[in-house]
């Protein structure tokens, strides 16, 4: 497709054009046209929006909606269906360009342009690039001309695509679940929900870009400071420069909840997610106080990174202390390793990360398990003692590792009762029910857990 063949709203398409662009057979398109889903019933003419509508129909069919139900919703102009149409057709009026035309406009070589497009998530869009796509690719060319290495730029584009895609998904999902669904549950009519959502979007949509820029600028300030600190550490000889781009020494922490699976099984997903939300807040606050970063969260497990081992230990011990103070909360366990990591596409990879991820497998409840490398890097940390655990075999790690438990010096906290069903730890006054079985007392967080235990005792 050339610029002269740009796809505008005024352009008329044939059924073969739509078939070529969507991969849907002309016969199937004719069936949908007869139902009033695409094109005009009394005409052979189609419009660019019909290409988008074909994608909508296929999405709904894939979910199990019948084509007859789709036609009925379209005929009745169902508000939710029309809203979905609006989102899917929002860029229909934009002109479309071919990859060859964009290569000519940007001055990028075709293969280099393809690599940039792939990093930006523009797969299979060789003949459907919009003005916004072209502008973004122009930015890529300018960055390359300014001296930004292509391998680094591709990583950056992938991070932007993934991270901002998640931000966009969170925006749409929270709006749906916490605004639209809540209004419907409270008895608000569909038409009133539609009106309120339109009004809310009119107020909220203009806030998106400045909010995203705020968080980006704030994050960039912190990241630039951390990067400058790393360069100074190398300059003063307290940290060695990596052998490969993106390689440097760091402390990697993995922290998760003990018995989270049985807790979910006993309490249900919603209640368990509330516990997880409390845990997430504790982890993020502690990481911020101790100059660490939360890299990822997978279920009840968090991965954090620190530029020094002392901060990693202090953060892990604070998380442990804070969770102990939480009423009816599962125990926490952590694992820390220190060594060389590779920074790639917003993540940290390498043997240091792999080893750290295995430490929680051997950690007891409440334990902060560290390697000898961490103990050495954090030597002299006041108020902390390292208790030798001995050599341990770790899954996927060839050599045995000498491990230690890092803990605050002095008397340790008294053990609390543990609910045998959900794994929740119970402090004084938190035991809802007790049961003596074969001379052993059992404590439960709720009557529900007691009933489940009686129905299926260990």
- Residue 314: what pLDDT? 97
End residue of a domain, out of 56, 88, 120: 88
pLDDT confidence band for 372 (50 / 70 / 90): very high
Q: What's the mean pLDDT in 51-79? A: 85
- Residue 458: what pLDDT? 65
Domain match, 195 and 330 both? no
What percentage of the chain exceeds 90 in pLDDT? 56
In a domain, 165, yes or no: no
Domain match, 79 and 202 both? no
End residue of a domain, out of 177, 204, 236: 236
In a domain, 436, yes or no: yes
Inform me whether the pLDDT recorded for 168 exceeds 70: yes
Domain match, 314 and 434 both? no
- Residue 146: what pLDDT? 98
End residue of a domain, out of 371, 387, 408: 408
pLDDT confidence band for 7 (50 / 70 / 90): very low
pLDDT confidence band for 174 (50 / 70 / 90): very high
Cα dihedral sign, 74-129-171-345: positive
| Residue burial 412-445, b: 16+ Cβ < 10 Å; e: rest | eeeebbbbbbbbbbbeeebbebeeeeeeeebbbb
Tens-place pLDDT, residues 132-152:
999 999 999 999 999 999 999
pLDDT confidence band for 44 (50 / 70 / 90): confident
Domain match, 367 and 440 both? no
- Residue 151: what pLDDT? 95
Domain span including residue 200:
188-236
d(CA 343, CA 398): 23
- Residue 91: what pLDDT? 59
d(CA 455, CA 390): 40
Tens-place pLDDT, residues 357-367:
999 999 999 99
Q: Strands 368-371 and 332-344, how do they pair? A: parallel
Please give the tally of structural domains in the chain.
4
- Residue 161: what pLDDT? 96
- Residue 86: what pLDDT? 66
Q: Three-state SS for 247?
A: strand
Domain match, 276 and 299 both? yes
Nearest to 276 by CA among 310, 321, 234, 326: 326
Inform me whether the pLDDT recorded for 275 exceeds 80: yes
d(CA 47, CA 148): 41
In a domain, 353, yes or no: yes
Q: Three-state SS for 337?
A: strand
In a domain, 132, yes or no: no
Inform me whether the pLDDT recorded for 400 exceeds 60: yes
Which tops the pLDDT comparison, 302 or 412? Answer: 302
Which ranges in 246-268 belong to alpha helices (H)?
260-267
Q: List, in order, residues 6 or more apart from 93 with CB less than 8 Å away.
A: 8, 9, 48
When mean pLDDT is compared across 10-24, 224-238, 269-283, 284-298, the lowest value belongs to: 10-24
Inform me whether the pLDDT recorded for 390 exceeds 90: yes
- Residue 327: what pLDDT? 85
Inform me whether the pLDDT recorded for 326 exceeds 50: yes
Q: What's the mean pLDDT in 337-345? A: 95
- Residue 141: what pLDDT? 97
- Which structure tokens are listed for 142? 């300018």
Average pLDDT, the chain: 89
Domain match, 268 and 385 both? yes
d(CA 318, CA 164): 31
Inform me whether the pLDDT recorded for 93 exceeds 70: no
Q: What's the mean pLDDT in 255-278? A: 91
Which tops the pLDDT comparison, 397 or 252? Answer: 252
Domain match, 261 and 398 both? yes
| Residue burial 300-321, b: 16+ Cβ < 10 Å; e: rest | bebbbbbbbbbbbbbbbbbbbe
In a domain, 111, yes or no: no
Nearest to 251 by CA among 196, 292, 222: 292
When mean pLDDT is compared across 8-22, 200-214, 437-451, the lowest value belongs to: 8-22
In a domain, 152, yes or no: no
In a domain, 203, yes or no: yes
- Residue 89: what pLDDT? 60
Inform me whether the pLDDT recorded for 320 exceeds 90: yes
Q: What's the mean pLDDT in 383-411? A: 92
- Residue 429: what pLDDT? 81
What percentage of the chain exceeds 70 in pLDDT? 93
When mean pLDDT is compared across 35-44, 210-219, 231-240, 254-263, the lowest value belongs to: 35-44
- Residue 1: what pLDDT? 41
Inform me whether the pLDDT recorded for 11 exceeds 70: no
How long a stretch of residues is the chain? 458
């Amino acid at each position: 497709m050339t610029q002269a063949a740009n796809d505008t709203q005024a352009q008329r398409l044939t059924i073969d054009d739509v078939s070529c662009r969507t991969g849907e057979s002309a016969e199937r398109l004719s069936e949908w046209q007869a139902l009033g889903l695409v094109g005009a019933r009394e005409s052979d003419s189609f419009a660019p929006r019909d290409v988008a509508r074909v994608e909508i129909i296929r999405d709904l069919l894939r979910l199990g909606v019948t084509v007859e139900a789709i036609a009925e919703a379209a005929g009745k102009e169902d508000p939710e269906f029309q809203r979905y149409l609006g989102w899917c057709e929002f860029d229909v009026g934009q002109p479309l360009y071919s990859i060859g035309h964009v290569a000519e406009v940007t001055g990028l070589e075709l293969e280099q342009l393809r690599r940039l497009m792939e990093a930006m998530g523009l797969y299979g869009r060789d003949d459907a690039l919009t003005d916004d796509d072209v502008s973004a690719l122009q930015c890529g060319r300018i960055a390359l001309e300014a001296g930004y290495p292509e391998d680094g730029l591709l990583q950056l584009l992938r991070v932007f695509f993934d991270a901002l895609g998640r931000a966009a998904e969170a925006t749409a999902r929270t709006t749906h679940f916490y605004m639209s669904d809540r209004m419907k549950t409270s008895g608000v009519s569909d038409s009133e929900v539609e009106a309120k959502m339109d009004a809310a979007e009119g107020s909220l949509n203009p806030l998106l870009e400045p909010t995203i820029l705020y968080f980006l600028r704030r994050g960039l300030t912190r990241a630039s400071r951390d990067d400058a600190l790393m360069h100074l550490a190398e300059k003063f000889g307290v940290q060695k420069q990596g052998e490969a781009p993106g390689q440097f020494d760091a402390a990697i922490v993995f922290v998760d909840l003990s018995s989270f699976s049985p807790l979910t099984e006993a309490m249900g997903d919603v209640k368990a997610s509330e516990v997880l939300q409390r845990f997430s807040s504790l982890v993020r606050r502690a990481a911020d106080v101790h100059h660490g970063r939360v890299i990822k969260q997978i279920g009840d497990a968090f991965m954090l990174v620190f530029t020094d081992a002392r901060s990693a230990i202090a953060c892990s011990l604070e998380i442990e202390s804070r969770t102990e103070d939480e009423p009816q909360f599962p125990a926490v366990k952590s694992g820390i390793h220190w060594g060389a990591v590779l920074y790639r596409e917003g993540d940290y990879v390498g043997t240091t990360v792999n080893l750290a991820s295995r430490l929680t497998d051997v950690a007891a409840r409440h334990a902060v398990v560290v390697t000898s490398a961490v103990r050495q890097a954090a030597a002299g940390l006041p108020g902390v003692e390292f208790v030798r655990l001995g050599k341990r075999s770790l899954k996927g790690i060839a050599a045995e590792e000498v491990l230690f438990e890092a803990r605050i010096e002095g008397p340790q906290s008294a053990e609390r009762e543990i609910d045998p069903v959900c794994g929740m730890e119970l402090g004084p006054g938190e035991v809802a029910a007790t049961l003596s079985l074969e001379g052993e007392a059992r404590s439960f967080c709720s009557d529900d857990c007691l009933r489940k235990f009686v129905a299926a005792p260990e």
